[in-house]
Amino acid sequence: MSWKIETKCLQEGYKPGNGEPRVLPIYQSTTYKYDSTEHVAQLFDLTAPGHMYSRISNPTVECVENKIAALEGGVGALCTSSGQAASMISLLNICKAGDHIVSSSAIYGGTFNLMDKRFREMGISITFIDQDCSEEEIQKAFKPNTKALFGESIANPKISILDIEKFAGIAHKNNVPLIIDNTFATPILLRPIEHGADIVIHSTTKYMDGHAVCVGGVIVDSGNFNWENGNFPGLCEPDQSYHGIVYTRDCGKAAYITKARVQLMRDYGAAMTASSAFLLNLGLETLHLRMERHCRNAEKVARFLSESGKIISVSYPMLENDNYHALAKKYLPNGCSGVISFQISGGREAAVKFMDKLKLAAIVVHVADCRTAVLHPASSTHRQMTDKQLIQAGIEPGLIRFSVGIENTDDIIDDIRQALED
Ligand SMILES: *Cc1c(COP(=O)(O)O)cnc(C)c1O
């Protein structure tokens, strides 16, 4: 039986047996007990299922992984300590020194730094491309040592929409997987695997958690990519650190996600804790309700802003005149999340004045949770840049990123209206 997405939010993952707790328990244990050394040996050989140590797997975390895999339509998932750890492990699972990655330049600043600075230090090279370019232009970025194509379904903070089918076509023509960061869309609004993505990652810190209580991340494996194309020996040749296991031979469709867990999570150790997984699971149970309301509220706020006369431009792809409206209609028919960006007339000074006058919308360094929040990139996350550098990076000094919460929209709009008054 295949449930609808709303039902999966509640019913997937944890499936209690007769007389067991109805709600997912927190297995606050690092360790597991066994009846025989033989059983432990089988666990270490990966020939018997079970938990060894909570850095590698934990029953609470496992239930949440299974729920997220079901939501995205993947064969398996791996939770991580943060969204950054998810990006890092998703790429290092298939890239090593001497390899190359092609990525959209419209990505989260932290992911950009990870690739542009840390990966380069490790000997992995990167080419950033404009995701709106033609297939032919993007193709020029590929090299014989390219191992992945990366992009965000809804880019943070640009709020641009990625043409996932175009990207999947290019990736597969080059025999590499397409990795999509689906943080802002969540599987409620968009499931990239249905459009050809091979690996999906999230910062669960944002809408999935939804209440701003836990930093976390997740990697989901579609199980669809053919790793045996000669490009990925790490998945097809014996792993000496695991008694010669061959992931594609021994783990089938779950080759990539099994390697990520038993090799990279074991060695790098960026694991999610059981208590974080418990809180993330609570967030996931209401994700479908919250996303619906975030989208409805954001569209109303975006329309109010675009008609207010004090705003130079509003980016929200549900608006008919938005550059990404056609892509939004195709990929996000039910809405584009709660995040809007807009440019206020009067530049940096007007933006700061507006932000300081807001009462309900809180100034935070975060987006995408249930409370309305606002961020001015030029005076916070991108503070080190001059106005000229900001404009080059596509961030106008007067740009405001507004994360519409699930309060009553009238109250949110009233707050904006009073802050816009002279
Ligand atoms: C926040 C964010 C990340 C990083 O996640 P953390 O949980 O903060 O480490 C990655 N990608 C996107 C799109 C984000 O918004």
In degrees and rounded to multiples of 5, residue 248 shows phi and psi of -65, -35
Determine the Cα–Cα distance for residues 337 and 153; give it in Å rounded to an integer.
11
- Residues spanned by the domain of 364: 288-420
DSSP percent split of the chain into helix, strand, coil, nearest 5? 40, 15, 45
- Sheet hosting strand 399-403, strand order edge to edge: 311-315, 339-344, 399-403, 373-375, 362-363
| Centre of ligand 1 from the C-alpha of residue 83, in Å | 5
In tens, the pLDDT along 47-79 reads: 888 999 999 999 999 999 999 999 999 999 999
Q: What is the pLDDT of residue 1?
A: 63
Calculate the alpha carbon distances from 347 to 358, 363, 373 in Å.
17, 18, 20
SS3 of residue 78 by DSSP: strand
The contacts of residue 293 (CB under 8 Å, 6+ apart) are: 406
Q: Indicate the top mutation candidate among 206, 273, 280 to test ligand 1's pocket, ranked by most ligand atoms within 8 A of CB.
A: 206
HSE, CB side, 13 Å, CA atoms: give it for residue 109: 13
Percent of the chain with pLDDT over 90: 85
User: Does ligand 1 have an atom closer than 6 angstroms to the CB of 202?
Assistant: no
What CATH number is associated with residue 224? Answer: 3.40.640.10
In tens, the pLDDT along 74-96 reads: 999 999 999 999 999 999 999 99
The contacts of residue 269 (CB under 8 Å, 6+ apart) are: 55
Judge if 15 and 91 occupy the same domain. yes
Q: Is 98 exposed, middle or buried (0-12, 13-18, 19+ CB in 10 A)?
A: exposed
The contacts of residue 359 (CB under 8 Å, 6+ apart) are: 415, 418, 419
- Of the pLDDT bands very low, low, confident and very high (cuts 50, 70, 90), residue 218 is very high
Q: Kindly report the average pLDDT of the chain as a whole number.
A: 95
87-108 average pLDDT score: 96
Judge if 128 and 272 occupy the same domain. yes
Contact 95, 147 (CB under 8 A): yes
Contact 246, 75 (CB under 8 A): no
* Four-residue CA torsion sign, 124, 127, 132, 133: negative
Judge if 237 and 355 occupy the same domain. no
User: Does ligand 1 have an atom closer than 6 angstroms to the CB of 209?
Assistant: no
Burial letters 166-185, b for 16+ CB under 10 A, else e: bbbebbbebbbbbbbbbbbb
In tens, the pLDDT along 123-149 reads: 999 999 999 999 999 999 999 999 999
Angle at CA of residue 259, ends 253 and 262, nearest 5° = 130
Contact 251, 258 (CB under 8 A): yes
Q: Is 178 left (phi over 0), alpha (psi -120 to 50) or beta?
A: beta
In tens, the pLDDT along 194-209 reads: 999 999 999 999 999 9
Q: What is the pLDDT of residue 24?
A: 98
Judge if 273 and 305 occupy the same domain. no
Judge if 88 and 68 occupy the same domain. yes
Whole-model pTM over 0.95: yes
Judge if 238 and 267 occupy the same domain. yes
Query: Which residue's CA is minimally distant from atom 4 of ligand 1?
Result: 83
What CATH number is associated with residue 320? Answer: 3.90.1150.10
Residue (of 391, 382, 294, 308) closest to 344 by Cα position: 308
183 CA: nearest ligand 1 atom: 13
What would the two tokens of residue 405 be?
């919460």
User: Does ligand 1 have an atom closer than 6 angstroms to the CB of 151?
Assistant: no
Domain final position from 282, 305, 324: 282
Q: Indicate the top mutation candidate among 82, 189, 205, 215 to test ligand 1's pocket, ranked by most ligand atoms within 8 A of CB.
A: 205
Q: What is the pLDDT of residue 392?
A: 67
Q: What is the pLDDT of residue 389?
A: 74
Look up tokens 């194509």; give the residue: 149
Determine the Cα–Cα distance for residues 76 and 367; give it in Å rounded to an integer.
27
Domain final position from 231, 265, 282: 282
User: Does ligand 1 have an atom closer than 6 angstroms to the CB of 110?
Assistant: yes
Judge if 50 and 82 occupy the same domain. yes
Length of the chain: 422
368 CA: nearest ligand 1 atom: 15
| Centre of ligand 1 from the C-alpha of residue 357, in Å | 28
Judge if 235 and 349 occupy the same domain. no
Number of domains in the chain: 2
Determine the Cα–Cα distance for residues 319 and 321; give it in Å rounded to an integer.
6
Judge if 226 and 171 occupy the same domain. yes
Judge if 119 and 173 occupy the same domain. yes
Judge if 160 and 57 occupy the same domain. yes
| Centre of ligand 1 from the C-alpha of residue 179, in Å | 15
Judge if 339 and 409 occupy the same domain. yes
User: Does ligand 1 have an atom closer than 6 angstroms to the CB of 182?
Assistant: no
Query: Which residue's CA is minimally distant from atom 12 of ligand 1?
Result: 108
Q: What is the pLDDT of residue 316?
A: 97
Q: What is the pLDDT of residue 393?
A: 66
User: Does ligand 1 have an atom closer than 6 angstroms to the CB of 409?
Assistant: no
Determine the Cα–Cα distance for residues 107 and 154; give it in Å rounded to an integer.
9
Determine the Cα–Cα distance for residues 42 and 64; give it in Å rounded to an integer.
25
- Of the pLDDT bands very low, low, confident and very high (cuts 50, 70, 90), residue 156 is confident
Domain final position from 282, 304, 336: 282
Determine the Cα–Cα distance for residues 102 and 221; give it in Å rounded to an integer.
19
Looking at residue 196, the DSSP 8-state letter turns out to be: T
Determine the Cα–Cα distance for residues 116 and 73; give it in Å rounded to an integer.
31
In tens, the pLDDT along 256-274 reads: 999 999 999 999 999 999 9
Look up tokens 């989260």; give the residue: 108
Q: What is the pLDDT of residue 383?
A: 78
Determine the Cα–Cα distance for residues 210 and 403; give it in Å rounded to an integer.
12
- Neighbouring CB atoms inside 10 A of 387's CB total 14
- Widest Cα–Cα separation across the chain: 75
User: Does ligand 1 have an atom closer than 6 angstroms to the CB of 142?
Assistant: no
- Of the pLDDT bands very low, low, confident and very high (cuts 50, 70, 90), residue 366 is confident
